[in-house]
Amino acid sequence: NQLFKIDGLKASVEGKEILKGINLEMNGGEIHAIMGPNGTGKSTLASAIMGHPKYEVTEGAAYLEGENVFDMEVDERARAGLFLAMQYPSEITGVTNADFLRSAINARRGEGNEISLIKFIRQMEGSMGKLEMDPQFMHRYLNEGFSGGEKKRNEILQMAMLDPKVCILDEIDSGLDIDALKIVANGVNEMRNDERSFLIITHYQRLLNYIKPDFVHVMMQGRIVKSGGPELAQRLEEEGYDWIKEELGIEH
């Protein structure tokens, strides 16, 4: 059952083409990893799909259960079940974590189907417990003064509570020590099911020791240049990216 499909996606930032035709298909239950050198367009891919205004989609489509997300308003994409854990989550002063999450959940559930306050608090406490987050984070302003690792954990908290269909995690491992990495990976693994798929963007193979991907894709210069299984990530860890560049005849 195909859940998500990226079809010939091209996108530009400030008139410069960054994504040069991305194709990717994900079925329910699958975990796909995207690896690649810095500056290759991984975050651009995530932002373009979510509808960040800086990124202009110039060609192609992305289908969530057959619906082109580029025909949807940005908030509709989240409602339809797309979720992005950002590489650099933004701080929002004046909005508490709990307020933010509750309105995000209610937007996803739709009018007339709002979550009760009691149920929300119970869920939030449960999810925070699993992620070993201090309860005070419920009432802190969103990401304000959070450490890098706390922001990442908070992104996973949002994901767990929003119950999305397609989860895109952009360098969720950066800034996490090994214990936090295990907790975050555990949170992801608990969410695995046949109706959900994950796109895990990472620089390092390490994360993939804890979240076992079904497919690994290598992105370079705005294209997916190689796909394989988990063994591909292992080889990248051992040998870096040069052998792929050589295979492709890319200058380095």
- Residues near ligand ADP, by CB under 6 A: 13-14, 18, 36, 38-44, 54
- Residue window 82-101: x/- pattern of binding to Mg ion, with contact defined by CB under 5 A: -----x--------------
State in angstroms the smallest separation of the CB of 84 from ligand ADP. 13
Strands 82-85 and 166-170, how do they pair?
Answer: parallel
**Contact region with Mg ion (CB under 5 A), list: 43-51, 131-139, 190-198, 229-237:** 43-51
Partner from Mg ion, ligand ADP, none binding residue 89, C-beta < 5-8 Å depending on class:
none
Work out which of 12, 43, 158, 205 binds Mg ion, going by CB under 5 A. Answer: 43
**Nearest residue to 224 via CA among 17, 24, 16:** 24
State in angstroms the smallest separation of the CB of 203 from ligand ADP. 8
**Nearest residue to 131 via CA among 105, 149, 104:** 149
State in angstroms the smallest separation of the CB of 122 from Mg ion. 35
Asked if 114 contacts 106 with a C-beta cutoff of 8 angstroms, the reply is: yes
Partner from ligand ADP, Mg ion, none binding residue 54, C-beta < 5-8 Å depending on class:
ligand ADP
- Using the minimum distance from each CB to Mg ion, give the nearer residue, 3 or 208: 208
- Using the minimum distance from each CB to Mg ion, give the nearer residue, 84 or 185: 84
Give how far Cα 219 sits from Cα of 13, 65, 189, 205, 245, Å.
18, 24, 24, 14, 11
Partner from Mg ion, ligand ADP, none binding residue 14, C-beta < 5-8 Å depending on class:
ligand ADP
Q: Is 40 in the site for Mg ion (CB under 5 A)?
A: no
**Nearest residue to 97 via CA among 31, 151, 143, 34:** 143
Give how far Cα 134 sits from Cα of 73, 153, 154, 245, Å.
34, 11, 11, 45
Helix (H) or strand (E) holding 27: strand 16-27
Question: Facing residues of 166 across strands?
Answer: 82, 197
Q: Would you tell me which residues interact with Mg ion (CB under 5 A)?
A: 38, 42-43, 87
